[in-house]
Structure formats: C-alpha cells, structure tokens
C-alpha cells in the first residue's frame, strides 16, 4: 500500500511546536519578528506574502511586510535591507522574488546577515551547510527532508537521488541528505540516461521545475518519492472544460501505485516549506543577542 505523505499534517505539527517556542521566547523578551521585503507588484509574490503573514501571525510571530515600489533604485533597496539587518527588533529577513528588472536579487540577499537569513539563501548559510555546520537551511530543501524523514527516519547508507541542482533547492537538499549519511546522486539536465539513476534510488527527490518529468519508467517499486515541483497548468477535465490545476514534477497517477510513499502536489512539500520558514525565524530569534 502506498503511503501518502501528508504535508499539511507535518506542517501542523511543526507549527504547533513553533507556537509553543514563540510563547517561551516572548517570556524571555525575545519576541520573534519576520520582515519580508516585497519590491514591485508581482501578483504571485503578493499572494504568497499575504499567506505567509497569516501563517506567521497564527503562531504568534510578528510579520512586517515592507512594500517598496517597482521604481526603487538599487541604492534605496540596499539601504532598506541594511536598516532591517541593523534593527534589533527584527529577527528574520526575507526578500520576495522576483524583484523588478534593474535590481539584483542576489546582491540584495547578500546584505542579509547569516543569523537573520531565515530563507537560508545567503552564501554564508549555504557555506555553513556545505561545511556541515549549524546553519539556517533553505526552507524548501529542509521541507523536503522533513517529508522524507516522516516515512524514513534513518537515512543512513540509503541511496538518495536528487533531480535538480539549483542553489536554493537541489544543492542544499543533497547537502542535507549527505549530512544525514545518505549516499547521494545528483542529476541535472546534462545527466545521461536519467532513468538509470532514478531507478537505482531508494529515495527519489525531484526538484527539476519540469512538470510531469518523472513517470513510471523512472521508478522501481518501493521507492520513496518526494516531489518538490509546483506548476500551475491548464488541463481539460472530464466534462471537456479547461481547468487550472497545480501539479508537480512527478506524474502522480503513474508513480504513486509503485511508490512506497509519495508526497502529493499540492499538499506535500509546499505547506511544510512555510512551516520551515517559521521554524527558521524562531531559531534566528533565539540566537540573537
Ligand atoms: P530551477 O532553478 O529551475 O532548477 C531546476 C534544476 O533541475 C536545474 O538544476 C536543472 O538542471 C534541473 N532539471 C531541469 N530539467 C531537468 C531534466 N529534464 N532532467 C534533469 N534535470 C533537470 O528550479 P528550483 O528553483 O530548484 O525549483 C525546482 C522546482 O521546485 C520548481 O518546480 C519550483 O516551482 C519548485 N519549488 C517548490 C517550492 C515549494 O515550496 N514546494 C519552493 C521552491 C521551488 P540544470 O542545472 O542542468 O539546468
């Protein structure tokens, strides 16, 4: 029987733990505050920002949304990031993507001090992760690990295959798997015979950003499958009507019957990612002097 990895329930457990810790932090005078910077008016970023604010407030974390106009200059944006970095009342900072054309997201993220980098995107945090040191790990990679550990608590010596090598998901995910003593293979667009690798996986973690890339031909029975991909696609439903659906990088209907356990999309890694952001925020608040 395939086990469905329920991201909503994993996220609820993490959020409860976070809420308890927020209460403790407040008693010690360290109320956590997450500052989210949004530049311009990207509708997806705005919708994510609103949902993030609701999640933060539900666990007692103060959420400050700093909205800057699309015409903000690189100097003005940098100055706002620096103000937040220096503000002792702010425990965590994140930058909503995308940022408008002339601005450089990487340059702005680099201004976030490692101890306030709750998305784990700064070179300092990624470096600490690579060194096997304590770091604020990138939320999506950490969420994929939480989903995996929900069904495979001990990863020691297991064969893990990661599809994707982006700096923000695939690479840190491989580093987290290594830190958990898994044996890791990392695949990307130049990998030859992808299925040869994915079929050798005991645990297959897919962060390719390619809707439906992984099908039955890529998976052997008994694999644990974690699908990080999220895509809005238009499909024709049973009544011949055009509908919009959220799908992953994995063809769920084909792969689920083979898998020992699998994350659905939506309802898998996504909700856990938000919970990891909240968890990183309280870790940041607890560490700040
Ligand atoms: P990305 O920057 O586009 O990176 C995709 C990676 O997958 C690249 O390393 C690419 O290889 C590799 N890849 C693409 N097509 C491939 C193929 N056909 N075969 C093998 N490898 C392939 O994407 P990302 O930012 O890492 O995000 C990955 C997915 O996760 C996206 O669908 C994104 O929407 C989703 N996501 C979900 C969450 C969440 O909370 N659930 C959060 C963030 C992202 P190359 O390096 O060779 O180009």
Tell me which residue has its CA closest to atom 13 in ligand 1.
208
Kindly state the average pLDDT of the residues 162-188: 98
Least-confidence region, from 2-6, 195-199, 285-289: 285-289
Residues in the chain: 289
Residue identified by tokens 């949902």 is: 51
- The pLDDT of residue 2 is above 80: yes
Tell me which residue has its CA closest to atom 18 in ligand 1.
189
Spell out where 12-78 has E strands.
Answer: 33-39, 62-68
The Å distance, Cα 240 to ligand 1 centre, comes to: 31
Span(s) in the chain for CATH 3.40.50.10860: 30-114
- Per-residue pLDDT of 270-280, as tens digits, reads 999 999 999 99
Tell me which residue has its CA closest to atom 17 in ligand 1.
189
Angle (CA) 264-272-80 rounded to 5° is 130
Looking from the CA of residue 163, the nearest atom of ligand 1 is: 21
- Per-residue pLDDT of 224-267, as tens digits, reads 999 999 999 999 999 999 999 999 999 999 999 999 999 999 99
Span(s) in the chain for CATH 3.40.50.720: 139-271
Peptide bond into 98 cis (omega under 30): yes
The Å distance, Cα 229 to ligand 1 centre, comes to: 7
pTM of the model: 0.96
CATH T-level fold of 30-114: Rossmann fold (3.40.50)
Please tell me if the CB atom of residue 248 comes closer than 6 angstroms to any atom of ligand 1.
no
Please tell me if the CB atom of residue 207 comes closer than 6 angstroms to any atom of ligand 1.
yes
Residue identified by tokens 């395939």 is: 2
Please tell me if the CB atom of residue 210 comes closer than 6 angstroms to any atom of ligand 1.
yes
Please tell me if the CB atom of residue 187 comes closer than 6 angstroms to any atom of ligand 1.
yes
- Contact (Cβ atoms closer than 8 angstroms) between residue 2 and residue 261: yes
Quote the pLDDT of residue 288: 83
Kindly state the average pLDDT of the residues 66-76: 97
Ligand 1 pocket mutation, candidates 166, 206, 211, criterion most atoms within 8 A of CB: 166
Of 281, 2, 11, 3, nearest to 146 (Cα)?
Answer: 11
- The pLDDT of residue 289 is above 70: no
DSSP bridge partners of 236: 242
- What's the CATH number for 139-271? 3.40.50.720
The Å distance, Cα 207 to ligand 1 centre, comes to: 4
- The pLDDT of residue 12 is above 90: yes
Please tell me if the CB atom of residue 140 comes closer than 6 angstroms to any atom of ligand 1.
yes
- Per-residue pLDDT of 196-234, as tens digits, reads 999 999 999 999 999 999 999 999 999 999 999 999 999
Residue identified by tokens 């992984």 is: 214
């Amino acid at each position: 029987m395939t086990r469905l990895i329920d991201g909503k329930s994993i996220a609820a457990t993490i959020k409860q733990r976070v809420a308890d810790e927020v209460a403790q932090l407040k008693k010690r005078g360290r109320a956590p505050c997450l500052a989210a910077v949004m530049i311009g008016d990207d509708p997806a970023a705005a919708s994510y920002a609103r949902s993030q604010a609701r999640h933060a407030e539900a666990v007692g974390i103060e959420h400050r949304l700093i909205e800057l106009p699309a015409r903000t200059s690189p100097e003005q944006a940098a100055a706002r990031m620096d103000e937040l970095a220096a503000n002792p009342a702010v425990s965590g900072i994140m930058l909503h993507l995308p940022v408008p054309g002339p601005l450089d997201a990487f340059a702005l993220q680099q201004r976030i001090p490692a101890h306030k980098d709750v998305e784990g995107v700064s070179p300092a945090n990624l470096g600490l992760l690579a060194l096997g040191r304590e770091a604020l790990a990138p939320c999506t990679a950490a969420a994929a690990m939480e989903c995996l550990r929900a069904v495979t608590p001990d990863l020691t010596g297991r064969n893990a295959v990661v599809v994707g090598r982006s700096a923000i998901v695939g690479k840190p995910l491989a580093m987290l798997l290594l830190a958990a003593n898994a044996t890791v293979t990392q695949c990307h667009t130049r990998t030859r015979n992808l299925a040869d690798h994915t079929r050798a996986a005991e645990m297959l973690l897919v962060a390719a950003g390619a809707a439906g890339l992984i099908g039955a031909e890529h998976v052997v029975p008994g694999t644990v499958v974690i699908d990080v991909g999220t895509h809005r696609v238009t499909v024709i439903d049973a009544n011949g009507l055009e509908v919009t659906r959220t799908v992953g990088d994995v063809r769920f209907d084909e792969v689920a019957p083979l898998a020992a356990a699998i994350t659905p999309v939506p309802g898998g890694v996504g909700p856990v990612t938000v919970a990891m952001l909240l968890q990183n925020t309280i870790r940041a608040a607890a560490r700040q002097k």
